[in-house]
Amino acid sequence: MKLTLGFSPCPNDTFIFDALVNGKINTGGLSFEVVLEDVQTLNQWAIEGRLDVSKVSYGALPLMLPHYIALQSGGALGKGVGPLLISAQPAQPGSSILHMDDYTIAIPGENTTAHLLFSLAFPNAKKKIFKIFNEIEDFLLNAPPSSGPTAGVIIHENRFTYQKRGLFKLMDLGSYWENKTGYPIPLGGIVTRRSFDPAIQSKINTLIRQSAEYASGNYPLLPPYVKQHAQEMEEEVMRRHIDLYVNQYSIDLGADGRKAVQQFIEIYRQEKNTQEVKNNIFVTI
């Protein structure tokens, strides 16, 4: 059985999926056609039901549940791993950054965890623009003064590069979530088709878990597959990326991880004032 599988070219994803897609584990008759795309594209495709298995943002999961069910392995959760709100100008001493009404804020995709976390912290911010995550630093650095104050929400490797480019952190949106809820931050997870037989869903989950365990068990070895798709990223940044986003939650969500994702679902229900979201979120394993 051949399945389409979508994930991003970011080091944590290629690290987790390397063993699965490159024949390092026994896939038991399943094969995968890999599609590498940025997370916003994958989110949109999941809303449309295009791929069989896909990495997605947990912040957009409620929109996908008609087509998909979430796996319990392969995702990115944790503490201290959330998006950062940054600007080309440092926060002024004594000023409050809790009033973002006058800012134009660049966000890495509308249907993303980063957008949900920003909206949770700044529900009244209206001047949002949506960009691919790796375009946000350039947007802040090149924005003309006449456009007014700007800020951006950064994810992935930009967490490690923004200071080198002369940008400044205004807020850690992940810490805001952790302080508010006490849960780890559910950044991204893996979904598979709800229409698949439960045995196939469980098998896919098991294979992704085995792939993540294989990668973690051989670390600090950095597979060529990771380097191949990291473009010009320095190896130190690749490793920091993996160290930050690949952890025990990538092997299995566990009770805390499931509760964190369910909290996202509840926030969505409250914001949209709807109960029309499926309750059976996770594959049974």
In this predicted structure, the answer to whether residue 93 has a pLDDT above a threshold of 70 is no
pLDDT at 97: 60
Q: Residue 285 falls within a domain, yes or no? A: no
Average pLDDT over residues 118-131: 91
Q: Same structural domain for residues 132 and 161?
A: yes
Average pLDDT over residues 94-118: 82
| Catalytic residue, candidates 67, 115, 156, 229 | 156
User: Could you tell me what percent of the chain has a pLDDT over 90?
Assistant: 69
Q: How confident is the model at residue 94 (pLDDT cuts 50, 70, 90)?
A: low
134-176 confidence digits (pLDDT tens)? 899 999 999 998 889 999 999 878 888 899 999 999 999 999 9
Q: Determine the length of the chain.
A: 285
191-247 confidence digits (pLDDT tens)? 999 999 999 999 999 999 999 999 999 999 999 999 999 877 899 989 998 998 999
Alpha carbon distance 261, 49 (integer Å): 20
* Structural domain containing residue 195: 2-78+184-272
In this predicted structure, the answer to whether residue 52 has a pLDDT above a threshold of 60 is yes
Alpha carbon distance 196, 193 (integer Å): 6
Q: Indicate which CATH number applies to the domain containing 201.
A: 3.40.190.10
Mean residue pLDDT of the chain comes to 91
Provide the number of structural domains found in the chain: 2
Question: Which residue has tokens 């160290």?
Answer: 243
pLDDT at 191: 98
Q: Helix, strand, or coil here: 212?
A: helix
Q: Residue 102 falls within a domain, yes or no? A: yes
In this predicted structure, the answer to whether residue 182 has a pLDDT above a threshold of 80 is yes
Average pLDDT over residues 101-105: 91
pLDDT at 147: 84
Alpha carbon distance 261, 183 (integer Å): 9
Q: Same structural domain for residues 158 and 225?
A: no
Give the pTM: 0.83
Q: Same structural domain for residues 91 and 162?
A: yes
> CA–CA distance from 90 to each of 12, 47, 134, 155 (Å)?
30, 37, 21, 19
Give the number of other Cβ atoms within 10 Å of residue 175's Cβ: 14
- Are residues 144 and 166 in contact, defined by beta-carbon separation less than 8 angstroms? no
In this predicted structure, the answer to whether residue 181 has a pLDDT above a threshold of 80 is yes
Q: CA torsion angle for 187, 34, 130, 236 (degrees, to 10)?
A: 60
Q: Say whether 229 is catalytic.
A: no
Alpha carbon distance 208, 199 (integer Å): 14
Average pLDDT over residues 125-135: 92
Q: Residue 37 falls within a domain, yes or no? A: yes
Q: What residue spans of the chain are helical by DSSP H?
A: 11-21, 39-48, 61-64, 113-121, 136-142, 158-161, 173-181, 198-218, 224-229, 235-245, 248-251, 254-272
Residue with more model confidence, 93 or 255: 255
Domain endpoint, select from 181, 202, 227? 181
In this predicted structure, the answer to whether residue 53 has a pLDDT above a threshold of 70 is yes
